[in-house]
């Protein structure tokens, strides 16, 4: 069953009308881990922020629907949306310190959430908090209750953030690069933790990353972003064995670390100003960088095409077949 469905989501910059998300369509099933893959600036975070209604002030959703359990969040009253946001959808970010309050102990932060949303305090709160800290793998949770965020390691802090985020038993967790700032071994522990939460709680996870390798054993399906559009969507196994979009193929070729590769250099040495749309004449946004473009007409706009029942691609090379 679909838990979340995003349809035709467009996000623009208010002042300039610059289009940052150009019509995003995807869904996530109950209990599914969906990977969102794409390079810096491709629109991954804006997608997550749109879902929880936390877009920066200067941006706005100009069209589209965000259906959560078939209710369009964008047409709900602010009160109802806030309720869903607080209890049913959680979001965590790369930097745990941006979420944790530096002047409150870990115990107090968790208790605040329980009291504010469920009116639970005292002994019952303490029991629940210790359970949550245990569930996210914090050793000696009794002792940690009195610790302040700065007294914990980066990995432990991210575990605390995850404990906060599951305290109200949400159905969807949006994890925006939650492991990017951590050492590789700690990174894998956090991935393992998220996978356990997915299995044990049937928690759906939208996992945002620019690291293809992280998704391989973790995500059930992956959507690939390129410059504010989804260019491929596939079950993880198919994405790794039969990538369809030339961009996905290049991502796979350049992993793990084939940075000396001539083709990789050619494709990845372009300017990082990915949204310089004024210079962009082709309607395929990957045209300039595409090693397979020679047979394509740049004035045609690629549409998302289902190549199999579960795999779709936005590429002109697949449109005439």
Ligand X SMILES: Nc1ncnc2c1ncn2[C@@H]1O[C@H](COP(=O)(O)OP(=O)(O)OP(=O)(O)O)[C@@H](O)[C@H]1O
Per-residue x/- marks for ligand X, 262-301, CB under 6 A? Answer: -------------x--------------------------
Helices (H), 73-137: 78-87, 106-118, 122-135
34 burial type by CB count under 10 A (0-12 exposed, 13-18 middle, 19+ buried):
buried
Least Cβ distance, residue 123 to ligand X (angstroms): 42
Least Cβ distance, residue 86 to ligand X (angstroms): 23
CA dihedral 289, 206, 304, 1 (to 10 degrees): 170
Closest by CA position to 106, among listed 140, 134, 147: 147
210 binds ligand X (CB under 6 A): yes
For residue 31, is the peptide bond before it cis, meaning its omega torsion is within 30 degrees of 0?
A: no
> Considering beta carbons, is residue 45 or 90 the nearer one to Mg ion?
45
Q: Compute how many residues bind ligand X; rule: CB under 6 A.
A: 15
Contact (CB, 8 A) for 287 and 219: no
Instruction: Give the per-residue SS3 of 47-69.
Output: HHHHHCCCCCCCEEEEEEEEEEC
Residue 210 contact, options ligand X, Mg ion, none, Cβ 5-8 Å cut-off depending on partner type: ligand X
13 binds ligand X (CB under 6 A): yes
Pair of tokens at residue 165: 């985020």
Per-residue x/- marks for ligand X, 22-61, CB under 6 A? Answer: ----------------x-xxxxxxx---------x-xx--
> Considering beta carbons, is residue 45 or 236 the nearer one to ligand X?
45
Residue 20 contact, options ligand X, Mg ion, none, Cβ 5-8 Å cut-off depending on partner type: ligand X
Point out which residues bind Mg ion (CB under 5 A).
45
Least Cβ distance, residue 153 to ligand X (angstroms): 23
Residue 233 contact, options Mg ion, ligand X, none, Cβ 5-8 Å cut-off depending on partner type: none
> Considering beta carbons, is residue 55 or 145 the nearer one to ligand X?
55
> Considering beta carbons, is residue 49 or 125 the nearer one to ligand X?
49
d(CA 60, CA 43): 13
Alpha-carbon radius of gyration of the chain:
21
Interacting residues with ligand X (CB under 6 A)? 13, 20, 38, 40-46, 56, 58-59, 210, 275
């Amino acid at each position: 069953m679909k838990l979340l469905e995003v349809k035709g989501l467009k996000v623009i910059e208010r002042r300039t009308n610059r289009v940052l998300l150009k019509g995003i369509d995807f869904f996530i099933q109950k209990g599914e881990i969906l990977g969102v893959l794409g390079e810096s600036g491709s629109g991954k975070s804006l997608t997550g922020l749109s879902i929880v209604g936390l877009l920066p002030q200067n941006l706005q959703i100009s069209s589209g629907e965000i259906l959560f359990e078939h209710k369009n969040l964008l047409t709900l009253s602010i009160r109802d949306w806030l309720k869903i946001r607080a209890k049913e959808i959680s979001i965590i970010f790369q930097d745990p310190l941006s979420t944790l309050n530096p002047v409150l102990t870990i115990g107090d932060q968790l208790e605040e959430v329980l009291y504010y949303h469920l009116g639970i305090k005292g002994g019952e709160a303490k029991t629940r908090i210790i359970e949550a800290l245990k569930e996210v793998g914090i050793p000696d949770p009794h002792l940690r209750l009195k610790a302040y965020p700065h007294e914990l390691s980066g990995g432990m802090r991210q575990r605390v953030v995850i404990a906060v985020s599951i305290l109200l038993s949400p159905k969807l967790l949006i994890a925006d690069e939650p492991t990017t700032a951590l050492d590789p071994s700690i990174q894998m522990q956090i991935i393992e933790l998220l996978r356990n939460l997915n299995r044990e709680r049937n928690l759906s996870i939208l996992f945002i990353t620019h690291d293809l390798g992280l998704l391989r054993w973790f995500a059930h399906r992956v959507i690939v972003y390129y410059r504010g559009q989804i260019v491929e969507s596939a079950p993880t196994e198919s994405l790794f064995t039969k990538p369809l979009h030339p961009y996905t193929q290049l991502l796979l070729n350049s992993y793990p670390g084939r940075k000396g590769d001539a083709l990789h250099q050619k494709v990845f040495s372009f300017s990082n100003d990915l949204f310089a749309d004024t210079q962009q004449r082709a309607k395929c946004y990957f045209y300039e960088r595409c090693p397979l473009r020679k047979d394509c007409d740049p004035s045609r706009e690629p549409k998302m095409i289902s190549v199999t029942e579960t795999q779709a691609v936005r590429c002109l090379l697949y449109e005439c077949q």
